[in-house]
Amino acid sequence: MNRREFMVAILATSVAPARAAAGKFSIGATAYASLASALAALRDGEILEVAPGDYPDDCRSSNASNITIRCAAEATFHAAYRGKSTFVLGGNNVSLVGLSGVDITNDDANGGLIRFEGANLTADRIRIDSCETGILSGNASADSIITLTNLTGTKNGTPGDGQSHAIYIGECAALSLYLSASTISDTNVGHLVKSRAARTVITDCRLDKGRASRCIDACFGGVLVVDGNLTLINSTVAQNYQLIGYGAELPRDARGWAIAKYALNTFTVAPSVTYFGRDSRE
């Protein structure tokens, strides 16, 4: 081996090839630099892993079904995709874990972290702060269950409009909302939870009204169950002194009686529920 060949051999063994920077989003062994590219690549049945951190501009839609989008700790987002929300999801059987949305707005004054347009959503460890409508589901066209657990949110709502809520669930006779182990407070004029679903079950939560109109508004009636170790806290600064609304948007007949939208309409509040009144009218 001559001197030149020796030096080439030394360099070949001592200089490792440069490694590509790890992506913040990954599907299996493939890394992506942005949420947009990751969601564009996401296919039915896959898991999208999101690295913990702050993502000021990332947002995108996906119509994939049977998917999971998760962060082991917390990934925080601030942008809305095409005037909707950070995650605009149209597939079925979607699971979200460890995501948060902060200060998300859009031109329609209902910007938030999640816009769900499919069937069957499960979301755990979600935070929504200072959004307009943090979680919004459209009117479901098929049987759908929305399950939200370990959710926190405060200071959501568009100031003064009364049309934006921390959580808004759309209309469907076969749609159910289950909310548990969550803490929500101080929506600006709208409701903490507004549900048009045929069945709404809220358990083991702390709902602190603040400026909100109501803690819970099941505006089309249906089955409403308020149960478990649940605390409702009223406020002197809210325009509406009610904690819970039921059937407030149902049409009325000539006698002023509500015309039922759903076949089954019951309202159950368990004895275990705790109320704290901050208004002399209660």
* pLDDT band, residue 278 (cuts 50/70/90): low
pLDDT at 174: 86
Is residue 63, in this structure, part of any structural domain at all? yes
**What are the residues facing 112 on neighbouring strands?**
85
Is residue 69, in this structure, part of any structural domain at all? yes
Average pLDDT over residues 255-281: 88
Is residue 17 scored above 50 in pLDDT? Answer: no
pTM over 0.85: yes
Exposure b/e, 84-107, CB count within 10 A at least 16 = b:
bbbbbbbbbbbbbbbbbbbebbbe
CATH number of 115's domain? 2.160.20.10
The count of structural domains within the chain is 1
Average pLDDT over residues 171-185: 93
Is residue 102, in this structure, part of any structural domain at all? yes
Is residue 7, in this structure, part of any structural domain at all? no
Is residue 28, in this structure, part of any structural domain at all? no
Is residue 257, in this structure, part of any structural domain at all? yes
Is residue 16, in this structure, part of any structural domain at all? no
pLDDT at 22: 53
> Using CA atoms, how far apart are residues 124 and 59, in angstroms rounded to an integer?
19
Boundaries of domain holding 251: 47-276
Is residue 3, in this structure, part of any structural domain at all? no
pLDDT at 185: 96
Quick: pLDDT tens for 42-77: 999 999 999 999 999 999 999 999 999 999 999 999
Quick: pLDDT tens for 78-132: 999 999 999 999 999 999 999 999 999 999 999 999 999 999 999 999 999 999 9
